[in-house]
Structure 1
Amino acid sequence: MNRLLAVLFFTRFGQILISLLIHSDQQHLYPTLYQVFTPISYAAPACFYLYVSSFIQGNSRLLKFQWMHFIPACLALIHVFPWPLNEINWPVVADQVERNKQLFITERTGLFPALFYYLGRPVLIVGYLIATWYVVLKSRILDSKAGHSGRNWLSFFLKTATFFQLTGFLPLLLWNVEKPGINTVLMILNCMILLVILIFVLHQPKLFYGYLFVSVDLDMEAIKSHAPPVLNSAKKVSLLPDQLISYSNSMKEVMEMKRPYLLESFQIVDLAGELNIPVHHCSFVLNNLIGKNFRDWINEYRINSFMEQYPLKAERMTIESVAHECGFKSIATFYNAFKKETGLMPTAYFSRKKVS
């Protein structure tokens, strides 16, 4: 999901960079960057659709057939490859980009005829835009009654992405109009809108938690004891029962097979990254299916590891040393966790075990 978002942001960055190079003294760099960003721009409409549809369906990975959406991007890669004897009039292309922006270039830019670019890209953008809104409206995810936790984020993302995609068609409305300063006005308008979005993000950061940002509420007791911070998972999440079970099994499998709890710095963000699922989904599964917060859950694994290792190493290592090996950064956190799991302090626990 994050990679699909990255393609969209990277495409926008490429469009701005190409425009800047054309208007600067570095035009010799423009053809290379144009060829680099063209396949990415062909993948962007599909990424937009796949991100939204996967978000709605709760998928964390693309299905096999969904990779077919990237066929146009593969064709674009073939198109811009510097084939021998494939001469391109880059000054004319640059002039058309300056006058008509990057969506309507009638000069040949690669192996295929110019039709591939000035008709292919608009068709992809409009087609995927319609398909995306159809999926959204059909799912009714934007309906407040649906109660989906990501409704606000998806609404913001849809509207913003749709706006910037549709602004690419403005040159059509101004095709036969004398426009000495219109390009400047359009660029200023885009910059102003980006500034408004940035200000909105700064004032409404919670909208992006779990999607672009990670929401972290620090546990003051954990800080005092130098334990890892606990992430608040109060956000409501709409997951199907099968998804809950699948996530739970995957989380347990990672902990048992890879044993990341032995790392003192391991946090829920790292677990979510390992499984490629949102952080708030991990928190939801822990709180509602497993029945523990992240700190208690990971400490349980560390305590179990300690109880296996300490009897084997007791003659040559102290309790504190073994606790550090099992992932505890703070001795106070270890003793608190041990007593919470067993009801006794370590010395009393192993003494009783010897007697029994």
Structure 2
Amino acid sequence: MTLSLFFTSISCFFLLVLSLHLFFAKRGIRLLNYLLALLLFSSFGQVLISLLVHSDQKATYPVLYQLFTPLWYIAPACFYLYTIIFIRGNQQLRKFQWLHFIPAILAIIHLSPWNLALPINWTLIATQIEENKQLFITERTGLFSAAFSSLFRPVLVVVYLSYTWYTVLKSNILDKKAGHAGRNWLLFFLKTGTFFQLAGFLPLLFQTMKLPYSNTLFISAVGTILLILMIFVLHQPRLFYGYLFVSVNLDMEQKEVKPEIPAMMNTIKKISLLPHQLDNYSNAMKEVMETKKPYLLEDFQIVDLAGALNIPVHHCSFVLNNLIGKNFRDWINEYRIHSFLEQYPLKAQRMTIESIAHECGFKSVATFYNAFKKETGIMPTAYFSQQKVS
């Protein structure tokens, strides 16, 4: 048991350090940092309580147990919110997403001062924690009945875990062909989070199926796995840079990468966006242009594009300048010229070049001719003459 407690103690220390690091980090997406910090701190609390109980410090654990309880009821929601915000690239919670914090509010009410007159059997609760049943405490721990712990919390874990994977599989972020920069990190996060959430069900599963179960072996296995993961994290900083390590400067340049890429990464950090979010923005911008064709509207501006995607205007501008390599005017005129090249052969017999250009979104003839020459290198008449010859 001593060796297992040693491994668990080290894991507990790393969880605390990483959670504090994320909470006070000034780089990266603050919302993602806070959600991940809450998750890690919640796990730290669970490991710490287990350490106190297994090391015969049962007299000191009740206060910490009550302090950490609200975090345990919000952790499943944080796991889900972190995932969907990571995929969608939001930088703040939407109004309806605050509803996910209701279980934590209920937990605070559950532990409120007016339940002090109600007796709580902390000795029996400690015994259940020793048996690794933290997810299924059958004793009342506060104002509400024992079902609040033994049923409500496991249901939260299962529901949020299932819906998280449903959301991920429904998106294309795990598709290698999509080329999401954050794919590897999200896979690590999902697999690790899923493993430790499901591990809480193992003791109950073993007892229900009447299978041989070793409490010491279980603690040793979980503690060792957690420690191995922490060591892996520390030895793979590039994989976790921008997600778990967000206050360090790492040389992101690979041998095959061109020199200008690190400069772009520095700019990304300045506007607090991760590489995968910029890729998502770029893909979303292109999808809007190709499906809804707003470039056909002559008054369409970058403000309208940002509004359609619900992202800041300066983020749109950054993606255009650094990922797509064009300013907004040249980018939208490129779509208009391609539309013109498709429409002209079909309408040339009954419409003038200028009329077709106007239908394709050009506000003035001069703008059209300048854009056409910039895109093709020659004027429209010469271009179509060459097409006929060829």
Provide the rounded CA distance (Å) in 2 between the counterparts of 1:245 and 1:22: 49
TM-score normalised by structure 2 residue count: 0.58
The equivalent residue for 2:156 is 124
Task: Say whether the 8 Å CA contact 2:132–2:200 is kept in structure 1.
Answer: no
Contact 1:218 / 1:231 at 8 angstroms: preserved in 2? no
Q: Which residue of 2 aligns with 1:141?
A: 173
Higher mean C-alpha displacement, 243-252 vs 5-14: 243-252
User: How many angstroms apart in 2 are the aligned matches of 1:97 and 1:218?
Assistant: 44
Letter in 2 for 1:56: I
Out of 294, 305, 314, which is 1:249 matched to? 314
CA distance in 2, matches of 1:218, 1:148: 16
Q: Could you say which residue in structure 2 is the equivalent of 1:224?
A: none
Provide Cα deviations, 1:62-87, integer angstroms capped at 9, x if missing partner: 10011001111111111122324122
Aligned to 1:40: 71
Within-5 A mapping of 1:78-97: 78-83=109-114, 84-97=116-129
- Displacement of 1:96: 1.2
C-alpha displacement of 1:100 = 3.9
Secondary structure class of the residue paired with 2:136: coil
2:353 maps to what in 1? none
Superimposed CA distance per residue, residues 269-315 of structure 1 (whole angstroms, 9 cap, x where no aligned partner): xxxxxxxxxxxxx8x677347989xxxxxxxxxxxxxxxxxxxxxxx
> Who is 1:238 aligned against?
280
Q: Which secondary structure does the structure 1 equivalent of 2:137 belong to?
A: coil
Q: Which of 42, 49, 69 is the equivalent residue of 1:18? A: 49
CA change 1:30–1:251 in 2 (3 A) is farther
Which residue in 2 is equivalent to 1:53?
A: 84
Which of 205, 220, 234 is the matching residue for 2:237? 205
What is the one-letter code of the residue matched to 1:7? L
Matched residues in 2 for 1:198 and 1:247: separation?
A: 36
The aligned residue for residue 348 of structure 1 is none
Q: Distance in 1 between matches of 2:132 and 2:315?
A: 50
- Cα pair distance change 1:72/1:22, threshold 3 Å: same
Name the counterpart of 1:172: 204
Greater CA drift, 167-176 or 229-238: 229-238
Report matched runs for 1:100-119 at 5 Å. 100-119=132-151
Match of 2:224 in 1: 192
- Structure 2, unaligned stretches of length 5 or more? 1-31, 254-261, 269-274, 286-304, 328-390
Deviation at 1:101, TM superposition (A): 2.5
- 8 A Cα contact 2:238 2:250, kept in partner: no
* Unaligned runs of at least 5 residues, structure 1: 220-228, 253-281, 293-356
Q: 1:194 to 1:288 in 2, by over 3 A?
A: same
Q: TM-score, normalised by structure 1?
A: 0.64
Q: What is the deviation of 1:245? A: 9.3
**Percent identity over paired residues:** 57
Query: 2:90 matched to 1:64?
Result: no
Determine which of 156, 170, 194 is the counterpart of 1:162: 194
Is contact 2:39–2:78 with CA below 8 Å preserved after alignment?
yes
Contact kept in structure 2, 1:31 and 1:90, CA below 8 Å: yes
Aligned-pair CA distance for 1:217: 3.2
Query: How far apart are 1:209 and its partner, in Å?
Result: 1.7
2:301 is matched with none
Cα 1:211–1:79 change in 2 (3 A) is: same
Contact 2:73-2:103 within 8 A present in 1 as well: yes
Are 1:2 and 2:33 counterparts?
yes
- The 1:157–1:147 alpha-carbon spacing in structure 2 relative to 1, beyond 3 Å, is same
Task: Answer with 201-210 or 83-92: which moved more.
Answer: 201-210
Residues 95 and 178 (structure 1 numbering): CA distance in 2 closer, same or farther, change over 3 Å?
farther
